[in-house]
C-alpha cells in the first residue's frame, strides 16, 4: 500500500495534535454534541468518487478533519498531491485542505479506526440480471468491522434497497463483537449529489437521516446538521432508504413517459420539445421532463430496479418501474434507427459510414460517463460496422469501466474533420459546443438533445432523434 506523501501526512498529524482529545467513546448524545461543536470529531469518508469528494469538501469547509479511504491507490496518490480527478471539484480546493492538514487520503483500512464517524459512499451497481450487486457494500462493511471501536458512528450513503442497513450492514459490523446502538451507532443517509449542478450543493441540499435506534439517529443528525443546511430525521433506516429510491423512480418514470411521447409525436410530425415548452407555461400541476438518447448517471438507470428486486422477494411486481426501464433502455435503439433513416436518405448505410459522436458524458457540462447512453450508442454503431469517433471537451480519453472499455481518445473539432464524417451525432448537449458552426460544416447532424433548436441555417441537414 502506498503511504500518503510526507507533506500531507505531516500536516494532517500536526492538526491532529492541536485538535486532539481523549479517545473516549462517544456513547452519549452529549458527548457527540461536544465533539461536533468543538470540531474534534474526525470524519472518515469511504469512496473518493462523485459522492465522497463533495462530502469531504463539505465537512472540511465547516472545520472538521477528514480522512478519505479508497482502494484505488492512484486516486489516493492524486488527492494527497492536491490533484482532483473530478471536473466540478477543483484541484485548488484539494490542495488547500491537504496543505492545511484538514484532509488526507489513504488506501490503508486501519485509518478507519482513527475516525469517529465513517460515511460509506461506495458503488451499488446492478448485476447483468438486474439484481443488486452488494459486493462493495459488503466488502466495505467487513473492512470497517475489522477496525470498529466503541462509540463510532457508521453511516451508509450508497443508494440501496430498504433493509440493507439493518439486514446486511449491521450483522457484518457486529462480527466485531460490538453491538449496534449499544457500542456503536448506525444510520442511513442517502446521497443526493447531482454532478455539475450549480443552484444546489451538498451543503444546501437537505439530508434525510434514518437511524437504527434513537441514539444513532441523534448522533447522525447532529453530525450532518453541523455541515449541511438541514438534517431531516425519519423513523427508520428503511424509510430513508426508500425515500432515495422514490426520488429516482419518480424521475425514471417521468423520463420514460416523455421519451415515449417523443417517439409518438415524431410519428405525428410534432416537435416534442415545443410541446414540453407549451405545457410548462401552466403554473401548477405540471413539471417538465426532457427526452434524450437514454438514461445515464449512476442513479436513475439503476436505482429503481433495487425496489423491483425487493418487490419480487415479497411476491409483488412493480409494473411502472419495469415499463419505464423497458422504454428508457430502448432509446438507443430508437436513435440508431433514426440514424439509419438519415443516412438512407443520402443512399448510405450505417455499415461503413463514419460517425462522430459529440459528447460522451451522460449529461451536459460534466465529466461523468457512468451508465452514459453515449457509450452504448458507440458500441451499437461499431457492432453495425460503423467507423466511430467521439469528441468531449471534458473527457480526453475513455476510462475503463466495469462493463465497457472503448479504448478511444477525443478527436479535436475542425471544419475539415466535421465535413469528413457521414454524420455528426449530438449525444450530449455541452454548452461549449457551437451548434451553428457544427451544423454549417457537417454533412448530416443527428440531434438527440434538441441542441440545435436555435440553429437557423442548414436545418435540412438536421435529423431529430
Cite the active site residues.
299
Burial class from Cβ neighbours inside 10 Å (0-12, 13-18, 19+) for residue 284 reads exposed
CA-to-CA dists, residue 432 to 84, 294, 391, 394, 435, angstroms: 22, 21, 12, 10, 9
CA 57 – CA 353 distance, rounded (Å): 46
CA 307 – CA 250 distance, rounded (Å): 12
* HEC secondary structure over the chain: CCCCCHHHHHHHHHHHHHCCCCCCCCCCHHHHHHHHHCCCCCEEEECCCCCHHHHHHHHHHCCCCEEEECCCHHHHHHHHCCCCCCCCCCHHHHHHHHHCCCEEEECCHHHHHHCCEEEECCCCCECCCCCECCHHHHHHHHHHHHHCCCCCEEEECCCCCCCHHHHHHHHHHHHHCCCECCCEEEEECCCCCCCCCCCCCCCCCCEEEEECCHHHHHHHHHHHHCCCCCEEEECCHHHHHHHHHHHHHHHHHHHHHHHHHHHHHHHCCCCHHHHHHHHCCCCCCCCCCCCCCCCCCCCCCCCHHHHHHHHHHCCCCCHHHHHHHHHHHCHHHHHHHHHHHHHHHCCCCCCCCEEEEECCCCCCCCCCCCCCHHHHHHHHHHHCCCEEEEECCCCCECCCCCCCCCCCECCCCCHHHHHCCCEEEECCCCCCCCHHHHHHHCCCEEECCCCCCCCCCCHHHEEEC
Strand order in the sheet with 445-447: 387-391, 354-358, 423-426, 445-447, 462-464
CA 411 – CA 390 distance, rounded (Å): 6
Amino acid at each position: 500500500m502506498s503511504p500518503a506523501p510526507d507533506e500531507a501526512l505531516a500536516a494532517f498529524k500536526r492538526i491532529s495534535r492541536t485538535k486532539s482529545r481523549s479517545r473516549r467513546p462517544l456513547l452519549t448524545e452529549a458527548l457527540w454534541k461536544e465533539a461536533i461543536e468543538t470540531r474534534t470529531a474526525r470524519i472518515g469518508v469511504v469512496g473518493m468518487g462523485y459522492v465522497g469528494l463533495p462530502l469531504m469538501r463539505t465537512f472540511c469547509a465547516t472545520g472538521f478533519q477528514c480522512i478519505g479511504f479508497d482502494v484505488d491507490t492512484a486516486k489516493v496518490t492524486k488527492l494527497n498531491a492536491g490533484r482532483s480527478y473530478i471536473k466540478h471539484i477543483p484541484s485548488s480546493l484539494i490542495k488547500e485542505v491537504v496543505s492545511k492538514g484538514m484532509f488526507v487520503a489513504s488506501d490503508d483500512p486501519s485509518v478507519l479506526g482513527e475516525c469517529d464517524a465513517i460515511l460509506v459512499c461506495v458503488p451499488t451497481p446492478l448485476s447483468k440480471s438486474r439484481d443488486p450487486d452488494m459486493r462493495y457494500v459488503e466488502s466495505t462493511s467487513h473492512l470497517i468491522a475489522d477496525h470498529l471501536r466503541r462509540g463510532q458512528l457508521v453511516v451508509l450513503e450508497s443508494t440501496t434497497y430498504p433493509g440493507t442497513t439493518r439486514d446486511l450492514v449491521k450483522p457484518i459490523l457486529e462480527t466485531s463483537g460490538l453491538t449496534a446502538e449499544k457500542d456503536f451507532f448506525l444510520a442511513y443517509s442517502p446521497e443526493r449529489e447531482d454532478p455539475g449542478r450549480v443552484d444546489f450543493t451538498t451543503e444546501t441540499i437537505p439530508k434525510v437521516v434514518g437511524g437504527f435506534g434513537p441514539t444513532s439517529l441523534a448522533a447522525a443528525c447532529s453530525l450532518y446538521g453541523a455541515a449541511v443546511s438541514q438534517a431531516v430525521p425519519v423513523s427508520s433506516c428503511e424509510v430513508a432508504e426508500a425515500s432515495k429510491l422514490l426520488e429516482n423512480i419518480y424521475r425514471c418514470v417521468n423520463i420514460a413517459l416523455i421519451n415515449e411521447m417523443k417517439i409518438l409525436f415524431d410519428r405525428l410530425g410534432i416537435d416534442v420539445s415545443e410541446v414540453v415548452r407549451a405545457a410548462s407555461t401552466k403554473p401548477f400541476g405540471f413539471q417538465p421532463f426532457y427526452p434524450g438518447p437514454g438514461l445515464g448517471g449512476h442513479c436513475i438507470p439503476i436505482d429503481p430496479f433495487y425496489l423491483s428486486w425487493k418487490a419480487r422477494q415479497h411476491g409483488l411486481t412493480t409494473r411502472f418501474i419495469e415499463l419505464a426501464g423497458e422504454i428508457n433502455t430502448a432509446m438507443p435503439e430508437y436513435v440508431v434507427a433514426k440514424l439509419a433513416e438519415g443516412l438512407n436518405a443520402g443512399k448510405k448505410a450505417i455499415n461503413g459510414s463514419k460517425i462522430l459522436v459529440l459528447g460522451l458524458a451522460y449529461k451536459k457540462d460534466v465529466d461523468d460517463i457512468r451508465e452514459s447512453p453515449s457509450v452504448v450508442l458507440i458500441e451499437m454503431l461499431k457492432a453495425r460496422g460503423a467507423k466511430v469517433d467521439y469528441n468531449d471537451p471534458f473527457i480526453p480519453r475513455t476510462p475503463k469501466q466495469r462493463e465497457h472499455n472503448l479504448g478511444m481518445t477525443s478527436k479535436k473539432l475542425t471544419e475539415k474533420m466535421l465535413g469528413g464524417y457521414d454524420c455528426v451525432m449530438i449525444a450530449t448537449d455541452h454548452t461549449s459546443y457551437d451548434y451553428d458552426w457544427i451544423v454549417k460544416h457537417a454533412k448530416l447532424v443527428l440531434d438527440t438533445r434538441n441542441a440545435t433548436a436555435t440553429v437557423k441555417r442548414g436545418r435540412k441537414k438536421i435529423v431529430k432523434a
